[in-house]
Structure 1
Amino acid sequence: MAQNRPITTNLLTVAEIAAQMRVSKMTVYRLVRSGALNGIRFGRSYRVRETDVQEYLKSVSPGH
């Protein structure tokens, strides 16, 4: 069942995330599929909340 929490941030595409993180799109797909990065599936594509990307980057940044 779908969660009832509102989407209050931007949803980014895999391509946008890959460009922001400077990795390949396949790397982003792997992160989403492994659960390391929370993603929402829309048909055959994924979207990720911008805040989830920021949280992931903070968790893997050295010194944090």
Structure 2
Amino acid sequence: MPQNSADLFRILTVRDCAELLGISAQAVYRAIQRGDLRTIRLGRSVRIRQSDLSAFLSAETEVAA
């Protein structure tokens, strides 16, 4: 994932994250419910910072290694 300053502040939907990771939106929601993936709540909408998605992926890589 790109790490320039604009991408660090990019806000993604659950569907965006699912498409980027090649998983279902439900799998993203499960990661959120477990507390593994940080979110921003805007009313009833759920959004994920690009930087939080990157942190989630780094943590998952460390656990798997």
- Normalised by the size of structure 1, how large is the TM-score? 0.76
Q: CA deviation at 1:60?
A: 1.0
Letter in 2 for 1:59: A
> Quick check: which one's helix share is greater?
2
Rounded Cα–Cα distance in structure 2 between residues aligned with 1:12 and 1:40:
10
Q: CA deviation at 1:43?
A: 2.4
- Normalised by the size of structure 2, how large is the TM-score? 0.75
SS at match of 1:38: coil
Q: Give every structure 1 segment of 4 or more consecutive aligned residues whose post-TM-superposition deviation is greater than 4 Å.
A: none
User: What runs of 5+ residues in structure 2 fail to find an aligned partner?
Assistant: 1-7
RMSD of equivalent CA atoms? 1.4
Structure with the larger RCO, 1 or 2 (CA within 8 Å, 6+ apart)? 2
Count of paired positions? 56
